[in-house]
Amino acid sequence: MKKSLLGLLAALSMSLNTLAAGLQHVEPPNWWVGMRDTSLQLMLHGPGIADAKPTLAPYPGVTLQGSHRAASPNYLFVDLDIGPEAKPGELLLDIAGTTLRYPLLARAPGSAAREGFGPKDAIYLVVPDRFAQGGRFSQGGMKEGLDRANPGGRHGGDLAGMRQHLDYIAGLGFTQVWPTPLVENNGATYSYHGYAATDFYKVDPRFGTNDDYRAFAAEARTRGVGVIQDIVLNHIGIGHWWMADLPAPDWVNQWPQGYTETHHARMTLQDPYAAPSDRQRFTDGWFSHGMPDLNQRRPELAAYLTQMTLWWIESAGLSGIRTDTWSYSDREFLTHWSARVMQEYPRLNIVGEEWSPHPAVVAYWQRGKRNHDGYVSSAPSMMDFPMNGQLLAALSEHDGPHTGLTRLYEGLAHDFVYPDPAKLVLFDGNHDTPRLFSLLGRDVGLTKIALTYLATTRRIPQLFYGTELLMESPVERDDGRVRADMPGGWAGDQASAFTGTGLTREQREMQDWVRRLFNWRKHTAVIHDGALMQYAPLQDCYVYFRYDAGHTVLVALNKGGQPVELPTARFPERLQAGDRAHDVLSGRDFAIGTTLSLPARGALILEIRR
């Protein structure tokens, strides 16, 4: 607490000093001693400072390497080296006759060795504006106010609301929480979305403050829940303060013919026949009129984005990063960015969003992949969009040689293309996709089968908030309704996920079922790191085993409308008549006989005991 207070006081001192110096921005706002890479580049922004010649008061272990300007007269980039012998304190930089006091802080004990999320974890995805309002809504000087009646407006969920319901998240069995972006998005409309940053270093005041975010992350850790921050490297919001005064014209990708939008043809990056102009349009085209595309080939911008990422990890005590629109960023930048993050935090995790149905495309970006073109990534994880698509198809199609449950079987059979398939994040849905329950025709049984697979296959599972309540949406994309308010998150709500008040019987049963499933997973190591053996689907049923030297778990999925008796002789490698079984979902214990009874539209999870 004392160190934290000193850090806050130092940051306040810096803030007051920068105002006195005429500086409008000093970023990063502070740094730490003891980083593996000792380089630090400050971006200073203020009227006419580009030609200033900064000097550094003597500080043991710290040297001023130089400074330079870009095209704008209002930016100065200052390069420092924070050597291993440097101690926490305050750097004194003279900028055009005014002293800038810059805080150097001590890293939290064990910071570099922090453990990121992995197969032992289950992730709960939250859209903060739609989860819960814990404080009184404050517009905080932002352009868009409160309009809860508008599906695309701000509804007022905040950090205080998420913090108040951490017990709910942990109680469901989840060990990581991923909020969609919390940084300032000062747009006139649709600002709750979060993916159009207008200030990378500031939590949006409608959610709270930077200190509120740090307090949320700290309290989550006390409950055994890590925080994954959603960071956007590819683009910013049109209202970002840079856009009023770009450091250089090529800070964002600009096109001679005027506005050019990406065509989202991500295959161009691996396509051996792709036209170079198509590749350029994919990576350099703007995401939308409101989202300018950043040019990470610009060295200062690459350094800025890398340091910003490290700053949030260190400042908030994060367990991982989720990176939006992964492949839209410059490839070489991603190589260096991911390597630097993992250099500072070797056990952290980074999961990238590559929205492709093709395993080979997703595998291209994962750490350890030996690519045909020599491309190297250091990102340990990727979102498993291919398997998400296979899961939805498997439960929606009739079974055939290449359809229905065979899609799950063949989907896992493609794991040979991944360097580490267990590190992929498999999800039921997210903020950009229709709700699972709706896509499966409002079928509770199929929904439970999907979540059983999510929790037991060889992946890191991620659940979208409200799935446990059978929340619905249109089956076509409708972002506002997909991201509906969590029941009970607002005073006056008639139903509450958090207390159970007003929920239907089906919702309460589903919530209890999810709680039982994921709490069991949380304490079952063989599901975290055991091997997997699968059997080809028959009779609308699919069976696989998770096992290690001392434990075996059988998972059987029956999507058909009738109960099925499975002959146990079909699984001689993993099952024997006379084995004892514990039914995880019902609690029943019994001896394995010649057949296994699978309920219609149901799942069976058995712990096998010899």
Q: Return the closest-CA partner of residue 52 out of 8, 112, 99, 91.
A: 99
Distance of CA 605 to the CA centre of its chain: 28
Cα-based angle 43, 49, 55 (whole degrees, multiple of 5): 75
Non-local CB neighbours of 367 within 8 Å, separated by 6+ positions: 338, 342, 377, 378, 379, 380, 419, 420
- Beta strands 349-352 and 381-382 are parallel
> What is the distance, to the nearest Å, from the Cα of residue 47 to the centroid of all Cα atoms in its chain?
37
Asked whether 446 and 561 are in contact (CB, 8 A), the reply is: no
3-class SS of residue 187: coil
| Measured distance CA(162)–CA(202) in Å, rounded | 18
540 is catalytic: no
Looking only at the bridges linking them, the beta strands covering 320-323 and 62-68 are unpaired
550: left (phi over 0), alpha (psi -120 to 50) or beta: alpha
**Share in percent of the chain as helix, strand, coil (round to 5):** 30, 25, 45
Exposed, middle or buried: residue 53 (CB in 10 Å: 0-12, 13-18, 19+)? exposed
Burial of 559 (0-12, 13-18, 19+ CB in 10 A): buried
User: Parallel, antiparallel, or unpaired for β 226-231 and 176-179?
Assistant: parallel
Q: Are 42 and 126 in contact (CB under 8 A)?
A: no
**What's the 3-state SS for 533-584?**
EEEEEECCEEEEEEECCCCEEEEEEECCCCCEEEEHHHCCCCCCCCCEEEEC
**Look-up of token digits 């993993």:** 574
Catalytic residue (one of 121, 230, 353, 428) = 353
Supply the DSSP string of 214-255, one letter for each residue. HHHHHHHHHTT-EEEEEE--SB--TTSGGGGS-SSGGGB---
Q: Which residues contact 55 (CB under 8 A, 6 or more apart)?
A: 64, 93, 94
Contacts of 366 (CB under 8 A, 6+ apart): 377, 379, 380, 381, 382, 418, 419, 420, 423, 424
Angle, helices 406-413/385-394, rounded to nearest 10 degrees: 160
Alpha-carbon distance 365 to 368, whole Å? 9
Task: Please state, in angstroms and rounded to a whole number, the distance separating the CA atoms of residues 218 and 3.
Answer: 15
The DSSP symbol for 371 reads -
Rounded to the nearest 5°, which phi and psi values hold at 599?
A: -70, 155
Question: Which residues, 6+ apart, have CB-to-CB distance to 415 below 8 Å?
Answer: 359, 421, 458
CA separation for the pair 265, 279 (Å, rounded)? 8
Can 324 be counted among the known catalytic residues? yes
Catalytic residue among 204, 212, 230, 324: 324
CA distance 205 to 184: 7
Give me the active site residues, please: 324, 353
